[in-house]
Amino acid sequence: MNILLVEDEPGIVLTLTDRLSSEGYAVQSAADGDRGLELATTSGFDLIVLDVGLPGKNGFEVCRELRERGVQTPVIMLTARGQVVDKVVGLKLGADDYVTKPFEMAELVARIEARLRRSPASGLVSREAYQFGDIRVDFRRAEVFRESAPVELSAREFKLLCYFIEHRQATLSRDELLNEVWGYESMPSTRTVDVHIAWLRQKIEPNPKHPQYILTVHGLGYKFVG
Ligand code: CA
């Protein structure tokens, strides 16, 4: 796993590089915003740790420009203590998480690990849209299109599809889908999952009788491979 560290304080760079290297990560660092942006757009990183206060472009500008250029690498921002505004702005501009300075090294490492675990291939999924076959899912507008025609999904079907996309290639049990997509507010049975998946297949599969995106994994559950 390759991590880019954009930070201008040499002490933090040194400590973090040592610690992350000892955890098995390959670390590259940049001491200002422009260099960070250049590295992040030209090399493949699995995650970026981005300080807000930087010479040149600040962390917010770097994050915004990255997202504008279509770079979807997860970003953990380092913000000053108590600056709630920083966190809100950072998340709005496309950061995935933030850690407040001064931080415990163990906390940052835990956040990095959590982020990398959650999105093993997150560089491929944009926060705005996801395309598979001729289906395009617009997350912000909560709309789905086949080519340019809208596909009408219920709120539950949409949530189910989003969950599949977030966890593509993973086998998901009916119980997990029930817990994550339906939650505990109702008491549906696992049969409910099967029914909704059948409906979803009717709407997004080219041939619902022979699904190519939402596959049945016999005895286990379902797997999305779009
Ligand atoms: Ca700084």
Q: pLDDT tens digits for the chain (226 residues)?
A: 899 999 999 999 999 999 999 998 999 999 999 999 999 988 878 899 999 999 999 999 999 999 888 888 899 999 876 666 676 777 778 888 888 888 889 889 989 988 887 754 444 455 678 888 889 998 878 889 998 899 999 988 999 999 999 888 888 999 889 888 887 655 668 888 999 999 999 999 999 999 999 999 999 999 999 8
In a domain, 113, yes or no: yes
Kindly give the distance from the C-alpha atom of residue 59 to the centroid of ligand 1, in angstroms, as a whole number. Answer: 9
Beta carbons within 10 angstroms of residue 11's beta carbon: 8
Kindly give the distance from the C-alpha atom of residue 110 to the centroid of ligand 1, in angstroms, as a whole number. Answer: 21
Kindly give the distance from the C-alpha atom of residue 152 to the centroid of ligand 1, in angstroms, as a whole number. Answer: 47
Kindly give the distance from the C-alpha atom of residue 54 to the centroid of ligand 1, in angstroms, as a whole number. Answer: 5
Residues 99, 159: one domain? Answer: no
Kindly give the distance from the C-alpha atom of residue 114 to the centroid of ligand 1, in angstroms, as a whole number. Answer: 24
Residues 176, 100: one domain? Answer: no
What is the reported pLDDT for 119?
57
In a domain, 193, yes or no: yes
Choose among 95, 99, 31: nearest CA to 65.
Answer: 95
What is the reported pLDDT for 121?
47
Residues 113, 175: one domain? Answer: no
In a domain, 46, yes or no: yes
User: Which CATH number is 8's domain given?
Assistant: 3.40.50.2300
Residues 109, 57: one domain? Answer: yes
Kindly give the distance from the C-alpha atom of residue 31 to the centroid of ligand 1, in angstroms, as a whole number. Answer: 9
Kindly give the distance from the C-alpha atom of residue 72 to the centroid of ligand 1, in angstroms, as a whole number. Answer: 23
In a domain, 204, yes or no: yes
Kindly give the distance from the C-alpha atom of residue 112 to the centroid of ligand 1, in angstroms, as a whole number. Answer: 19
What is the reported pLDDT for 190?
81
In a domain, 176, yes or no: yes
In a domain, 28, yes or no: yes
Kindly give the distance from the C-alpha atom of residue 128 to the centroid of ligand 1, in angstroms, as a whole number. Answer: 29
What is the reported pLDDT for 81?
66
Residues 91, 158: one domain? Answer: no
Kindly give the distance from the C-alpha atom of residue 35 to the centroid of ligand 1, in angstroms, as a whole number. Answer: 14
Out of 67, 99, 118, pick the residue that ends a domain: 118
CA distance 45 to 71: 10
In a domain, 36, yes or no: yes
User: Which CATH number is 185's domain given?
Assistant: 1.10.10.10
Kindly give the distance from the C-alpha atom of residue 214 to the centroid of ligand 1, in angstroms, as a whole number. Answer: 46
Out of 96, 118, 140, pick the residue that ends a domain: 118
In a domain, 59, yes or no: yes
Query: Structural domain of residue 203, as residue ranges?
Result: 154-224
Residues 182, 76: one domain? Answer: no
Out of 65, 91, 118, pick the residue that ends a domain: 118
Residues 16, 112: one domain? Answer: yes
Kindly give the distance from the C-alpha atom of residue 215 to the centroid of ligand 1, in angstroms, as a whole number. Answer: 47
Q: How many domains does the chain have?
A: 2
Q: Where are the beta strands (DSSP E) in the chain?
A: 2-6, 26-30, 47-51, 75-80, 97-101, 129-132, 135-138, 143-146, 149-151, 171-172, 214-217, 221-224
